[in-house]
Every structure is written in structure tokens, then in C-alpha cells.
Amino acid sequence: MPLVTSEKMLLDAKKDGYAVGAFNVENMEMVKAVIAAAEELNAPVMLQTTPSTVKYGTLETFAGIVKAEAAKTKIPVCLHLDHGNSFELAVQAMKAGYTSVMIDGSHEDFENNIAVTKKVVDVANAFGIPVEAELGKVGGKEDDLEADADTNTDPQEAKEFVERTGVSSLAVAIGTAHGFYVGTPVLDKPRVSAIKEVVDVPLVLHGASGLSEEDVRECVERGMCKVNFATELRVAYTDAVKKLLEEKPETFDPKKLGVVAMEAVKEQVIARMKMCGCDGKAK
């Protein structure tokens, strides 16, 4: 089917108490693997690219690949700009065919975050495209955006932020980090419940790679409607390629590398979708 926006799938998740899995993709093979996993589980799915990924491959290239693969399936597929780092990039993504965008102003102060987010929302409304924003700082590094320490989201600030910007979904900080965790993460899961009490839009969990199944499930139960996975998919992909080259160093055909990589990514995505509870929820 044609690409869909993230709005309905996230509102459905909010209403029925599960989360949509959102998976960062870096190439055609990862796109195919994620969609194949979603198709097998009959799950709605969001595919995401970061600014560094689109710099590597271009917005138009990824939009073309995802649009072509989505057209072959009956499940709802959304293409999302993850951690959009400027107003200009967000607008370019909409024009290129992305059906959901994030503007990440979390490195700005509260008022400037509101200003840049509202600016993107005003344009997105004309395109009919939903906007995700971030309030608070998720630790670790995502592209060029880095936070040395976590600053968890204040519920009342979240309420004001959503009301003043008109965003469709909100990524909140509860102690997660981008990349893999050095130690055991300590998540402020009750904060998810507190934010859900005062915020009407679906909530988003960033930095889920490496979290335990128990942590993810509880965050979803408390109100997270979208869960992002990136680093662990890259690792699954490259580990599969490394293993094949160790076992068969004479391999030179990129397609053979792609096949084992796709199998590994698909397996990882299936496990994470089941964890989010979105299997069987395609509508």
C-alpha cells in the first residue's frame, strides 16, 4: 500500500495499549528486512533515517526505496525523519516524500525548542504530516547531537510544550541513552505515567537498544506508544556480515553479504516488535 503517516498508527497504539516499533535503516537491505518482519507479524511499522544517514544516501533515495517496498505489502508503513536537526531538513524531508518528521530541539533551551518545533509544525500542517519533538535530553549520542548527562522530562513542561507547539507525538527523557549502555540503565518509569496523565499526544521512547524486555514492556504499559531501535540493528547487520566473511573469506558477492545481514536484522526486528506488542495490530 502507499506510505501512511504516523498519526493513525500511534493513536491506535495509544488507545489499545501497545507501541509501534520504529527502526532506523541505513540501506536497501535493512529496509527490506524491517518490512519483511512487519509483514510476517502483521504489524504496523515505522522506518527511520537520521540526518547522517540521509547525508550518506539522500532523502530522495531513501524515500524511493521505502515507497517501492511499501507498495508490495498490505501492512501500514511510515517513513520518518529521526532527530531532524534543522527546520530546513524537516521541510526537505516532507517534500521528498517522508510521511512523518521529527524536529529535535532538545539541545536548545525551552523557549527556543518551542519556537523551532512550532515553526516545523506550521509547515507540516500544510503537508498533512505529523511532527514528533523531544523535550528533555536523552543521554548518549545520536549523529552530532550528544548529551553528557540525562535531564529527564518535567511533566508540566511537557504539557505546556505540547499545547504551545501542536506536535503530534513527544519523545521524553526518562534515563535512556542512545547507543549501547555502559552499565545497567536506571529508568524513571513512573515519570512516563506522570507525563501521560497531563499530555494528550502519544509518547515516544528513544534509546531502546540494549534495554531489557521487562523495561520496554513496562514503559509501553505506562504509556509509550512508539519505541525506537537503531544501534542494535546496525550491530546485527555487521555481525552477520563479519561471521560470513570469517567462515567464507572467499566471499566477494555483495548480495551474499546482504542476504545474511537481512536475515539477522529481520530476526532482531521480530523480537522487538513482539516486545512492543504491535504484532497482529496492522489495520
pLDDT in tens, 184-214: 677 899 999 999 999 999 999 998 887 889 9
C-alpha cell at 13: 497504539
Annotated catalytic residue, options 12, 16, 82, 109 = 82
Is 229 marked within a binding site?
yes
How far is Cα 195 from Cα 192, in angstroms, rounded to an integer?
A: 5
Which residues of the chain register pLDDT less than 50? 140-149, 181
pLDDT number for residue 145: 44
Domains of the chain in sequence order: 6-276 (3.20.20.70)
Q: Per-residue DSSP letters for 187-256? A: --HHHHHHHHHH--SPEEE---TT--HHHHHHHHHHTEEEEEE-HHHHHHHHHHHHHHHHH-TT---HHH
82 is catalytic: yes
Q: What is the pTM of this model?
A: 0.92
Is 258 marked within a binding site?
no
pLDDT number for residue 87: 97
Q: Which of 159, 96, 99 is nearest to 124 (CA)?
A: 99
Is 184 marked within a binding site?
no
How far is Cα 276 from Cα 10, in angstroms, rounded to an integer?
A: 12
Q: What are phi and psi of 23, to 5 degrees?
A: -120, 125
Which residues touch 6 (CB under 8 Å, ≥6 apart)? 20, 46, 78, 80, 99, 100, 130, 132, 168, 169, 226
pLDDT number for residue 6: 97
Distance (Å) of CA 245 to CA 196, 218, 240, 253: 47, 39, 9, 11
pLDDT number for residue 137: 65
pLDDT number for residue 184: 60
pLDDT number for residue 175: 84
pLDDT in tens, 237-278: 999 999 999 999 999 999 999 999 999 999 999 999 999 999
How far is Cα 196 from Cα 198, in angstroms, rounded to an integer?
A: 6
Is 230 marked within a binding site?
yes
Q: Which of 94, 234, 82 is nearest to 169 (CA)?
A: 82
How far is Cα 205 from Cα 60, in angstroms, rounded to an integer?
A: 27
- Three-class SS of residue 3? coil
